[in-house]
A and B are shown apart, each in its own frame.
Chain A
């Protein structure tokens, strides 16, 4: 026994490390290696490394050709012709041709239970491989965001996947070999434990300089920080905001801050359903009538000190939010939209002038007709770390203008059932993460979505709906941008949402093992191919 203990401790001293192996720590892990059925972001991180798709989302938010050498679109916007790079090889040595591309796009379209991939193909009418390098996609109607539909449709080898055509054969195919054409190859995978990839040095465009990358799953973000400090990993993809200070003081560690790769937003929203808009089947629509009054919502906006919320709840790692189209969406984000200043006096005046007075001196205002207090139910999801602090702060800030909040955390399921389409709440805090294209986020506020459960607010405005349809068919990017910006002005004017902040992504890496990380982009994603194919081991 003594000898064993001695041996164990002796062996601790010399832990050998392959020089070219990068070790990444993260707190999650992919749900599956099957690009059709995967849901989690961690899975898509791997797909980006192991597969190629026709187009790639760059860290500056732009969309650039990946497997596509050149492309062409017909006058009416319906027929897209893509010329594929020649000489691209799958990891098993077989060539990637237009037939594989056509097969993959058709495959995603045929499997209607593929959560995301299927949705991206919904406007595809036919997909044809004309020859080895030419693919023609015909759309059922012209859409302005064709390229963003292709970002996550990874090109699969037909010779592997044709054996798993549909149904449970397709969804239960584990794809453990993960034969792709990307800059990294799958070597070893243990679900929920680790993923080991080796470099595909023969990659046609961006062969990695390192030999190997290992993603290891740790139990919590706090443990990740410790793993980086002790040098057990070289980079971590996430960390609690509280760790930032201690890592900043570590000479061997560099922090990177910026917008997250997948745009996301934390939102506070109001129940705006009325007797007319209440969904017939599921609607309860018990919202407080005062919230239907724009003056009240404006007063709440004026009473919201976003900077204080960012300082206290996010420890400074965020920027004030304006709308549900977030700063991570690049050109679609309206930089000129005018937010309501933090001005409690103006808020008080708005409420006073509109007749919301505290006549019984209990510190809470009443409706002009005296029927009810301005006391609102406020719900938030109990799985969001910073949410309780934000709720407390809002309760204080709004309390200062005579508005009372009844705070309650709910689990996401309970939140769904009171949210939508039942609309059994007054105010709620929740959030979204999104694609680079603004289409999905904009749809949330349309009248059509009130009954489906996607609309959280029950907001209904014909002017907005019209603009939504217009941007969905506007093929000129500049014109579409103008419409999207105008819609954000309307959101700010009508205030269905108050967006307290846009959270920043924080990642960190050790400076003593690898160099060449992409840290200058607007978005932060050190696990993206843009970094992993560039970095080099320090000798």
Chain B
């Protein structure tokens, strides 16, 4: 068991190391962030000084032009190969330093730390609701297969699943603010001075619409998978046996069908984590929800490499970890899945 966990963690580390490398080069393709500063007041000397501050005056990794979106002088190329942007990136990471945002000059770790919890709150609430509703719907749709209930649930889920996230978000935003006076953005009322229960209610009000969007978008997937898996399970012999034993419908669904159908759901939840954040980018942008998604969206526009590197590292680590956890969960859900 320990050996297996170690092996899984070992692979996880290799994956993360690969992501680290990819992250570095991926964002540099976007070009020089100082190019976005188009202003007649900025002299070439100032821009050069800003590049030095960002460490962009050094070659990316070597002097091949294709790898250096920013022009590097020959002098800079002649220096020590360990004085490159890449070596600085790696040595900082080894020290646990994610760097400083080009845009706000703040440490990336602070910035992400501030926003991470908001995203966890949003994704957590949205995913849990989507899973509960989706799985329940799927279960009953399968049980009542080929009835009006099944078809209604199926069509509704497919429709919700295929809605563009940002569009659904904007509709809900305008509808919710107009008819129910729900807040149009932010996490809580600014300067409300609320505490305890009052603050909780205030945050819930702000969370309501983004969570609803999130849930609607993800329900479909869980419902469809649950439905097809349960349909499979229901045709198994042991269900017939259970029926013959005289168990109630509820008992059969709960003890025999649900548990066996959970495997694909666990897989999907773990795999979905990456897509979930993609969904969060759109939802957080529409609802001005101060989370990781919004941070990523803004950082892309500003070519803020350090923030992007940090955010994607965080995402990669969480997706990889989620998959490790899912792998381990299988063994608890289904004793037939043997370790090793």
Task: Give the interface of A toward B (CB within 8 A).
Answer: 4, 7-9, 11-12, 15-16, 18, 21, 23, 31-32, 34, 37, 39, 112-116, 118-119, 122, 168, 171-172, 174, 187-188, 190-194, 196, 212, 214, 216-220, 222-223, 226-227, 230, 232, 412-413, 416, 432-435, 440-441, 443-444, 452-454
Residues of A within 8 A of B298 (CB): 192
Asked if B189 and A188 sit within 8 Å, CB to CB, the answer is no
**Nearest chain A CB to B323's CB is how many angstroms away?**
31
- The digit string for B281-309, where 1 denotes a CB below 8 A from any CB of A, is 00001111010001100100000000000
Instruction: Judge if B319 is at the interface, Cβ distance under 8 Å.
Output: no
Task: Identify the closest chain A residue to B118 (Cβ).
Answer: A193
Residue of B nearest to A451 (CB): B44
> Is B185's CB within 8 Å of the partner chain A?
yes
Q: Which residue of A lies closest to B290 (CB)?
A: A193
How many angstroms from the CA of A409 to the CA of B186 in the assembled complex? 33
Residues of B within 8 A of A230 (CB): 177-178, 181, 184
Question: Which residue from chain B places its CB closest to the CB of A419 in the assembled complex?
Answer: B38
Task: For B107, list chain A residues within 8 Å (CB).
Answer: 172
Contacts A32-B104, A113-B49 given: A223-B184 contact, CB under 8 Å?
Answer: yes
> B106 contacts which of A112, A174, A212 (Cβ < 8 Å)?
A174
Contact at B182–A216, with CB atoms within 8 Å? no
Partner of B190, one of A11, A34, A214: A214
Complex Cα distance A218/B111, Å? 19
B30-56, CB under 8 A of A: which get 1 and which 0?
Answer: 111001111111111110011011000
With A171-B105, A217-B185, A413-B31 as given contacts, are A440 and B41 in contact (CB-CB < 8 Å)? Answer: yes
* Contact A441/B184 with A8-B208, A223-B173 known, Cβ cut-off 8 Å: no
Minimum CB–CB distance for A438 against chain B, Å: 10
A220 to B167, CA, bound (A): 13
In the complex, what's the smallest C-beta–C-beta distance from B80 to chain A, in angstroms?
A: 21
User: B250 within 8 Å of A by Cβ?
Assistant: no
Q: Is the CB of A193 within 8 A of B186?
A: yes
Complex partner residue of A8 from B42, B103, B205, CB under 8 angstroms: B205
Could you say which residues of chain A place their CB within 8 Å of the CB of B32?
Answer: 413
Partner of A218, one of B52, B106, B198, B288: B288
Q: Contact string, B161-197, partner A, CB cutoff 8 A, digits 1/0?
A: 0000000001001100110111111110111100000
Tell me if B201 counts as interface (CB < 8 A to partner A): yes
Residues of chain A within 8 A (CB-CB) of B202 are: 11
Chain A residue contacts of B205, Cβ below 8 A: 8, 11-12
Q: Which residues of B contact A412 (CB under 8 A)?
A: 35-36, 38
Contacts of B295 in A (CB 8 A): 192
**Can you sample 13 A-B contacts with CB below 8 Å?**
A32-B106, A116-B41, A118-B46, A118-B49, A187-B191, A191-B106, A212-B191, A219-B285, A226-B184, A230-B177, A232-B177, A412-B38, A413-B32
B223 within 8 A of A: no
B69 CB to nearest A CB, Å:
9
- Please tell me if the beta carbons of A37 and B39 are within 8 angstroms of each other in the complex: no
A441 to B39, CA, bound (A): 10
CB distance from B200 to the nearest CB of A (A): 10
- Contacts A114-B46, A188-B191 known; list 8 others, CB within 8 Å: A4-B204, A115-B50, A171-B105, A172-B100, A187-B191, A192-B294, A219-B285, A434-B40
Q: Are B105 and A37 in contact, CB atoms less than 8 angstroms apart? A: yes
Alpha-carbon distance A373/B41, docked complex (angstroms): 38
Docked Cα-Cα span, A191 to B43, in Å, equals: 28
**Closest-CB distance, B197 to chain A (whole angstroms):** 9
Contacts of A454 in B (CB 8 A): 40
Task: Establish whether residues B185 and A191, one from each chain, have CB atoms under 8 Å apart when the complex forms.
Answer: no
Min Cβ gap B297→A in Å is: 9
A226 with B174: CB separation less than 8 A: yes
A329 CB, min distance to chain B CBs, angstroms:
13
B102 to chain A, nearest CB (A): 9
Q: Say whether B177 contacts A226, CB under 8 Å.
A: yes
- A34 vs B46: C-alpha distance when bound (angstroms): 17
Q: Are A190 and B290 in contact (CB under 8 A)?
A: yes
B181 interface neighbour in A15, A23, A119, A433, Cβ under 8 Å: A15
Cross-chain contact of A115 among B46, B180, B182, B185 (Cβ < 8 A)? B46
Is A191 within 8 A of B42, CB to CB? no
Q: Which of A4, A39, A433 has most chain B Cβ within 10 Å?
A: A39
Instruction: Give the chain B neighbours of A452 by CB distance below 8 A.
Output: 44
User: For the complex, is B236 an interface residue (Cβ under 8 Å from A)?
Assistant: no
CB distance from B304 to the nearest CB of A (A): 10
B97 contacts A by Cβ under 8 Å? no
Closest to B103 in A: A31
- Complex Cα distance A122/B45, Å? 11
Instruction: Identify the interface centre among B38, B40, B45, B202: most chain A CB within 10 Å of its CB.
Output: B40
Interface presence of B334 (CB below 8 A): no
- In Å, the complex CA distance between A174 and B101 comes to 12
A29 to chain B, nearest CB (A): 9
A88-B184 Cα distance, complex, nearest whole Å = 40
**Residues B201 and A227 in contact, CB atoms below 8 Å apart:** no
Which chain B residue has the least Cβ–Cβ distance from A34?
B105
Q: Which 4 A-B pairs have the closest CB atoms?
A: A440-B40, A113-B49, A413-B31, A219-B288
- For residue B114, CB closer than 8 A to chain A, the reply is yes
CB-based contact A216/B190 at 8 Å: yes
Given the known A-B contacts A171-B53, A434-B40, are A8 and B201 also in contact in the complex, defined by CB atoms under 8 Å?
A: yes
Within the complex, the shortest CB–CB distance from B42 to chain A, in Å, comes to: 6
**A34 to B106 CA separation, bound complex (whole angstroms):** 11
CA distance A114 to B49 in the complex (A): 8
Closest to B31 in A: A413
Which B residues are CB-close (under 8 A) to A8? 201, 204-205, 208
- Contacts A115-B50, A196-B191 known; A218 to B185 CB distance under 8 Å? yes
Q: Which residue of B lies closest to A10 (CB)?
A: B201
A118 and B290 CA atoms in complex are apart in Å by: 32
In the complex, A171 Cα to B54 Cα: how many Å? 11
Q: Which residue of B lies closest to A214 (CB)?
A: B190
With a cutoff of 8 Å between Cβ atoms, the chain A residues found around residue B185 in the complex are: 216-219, 223, 227
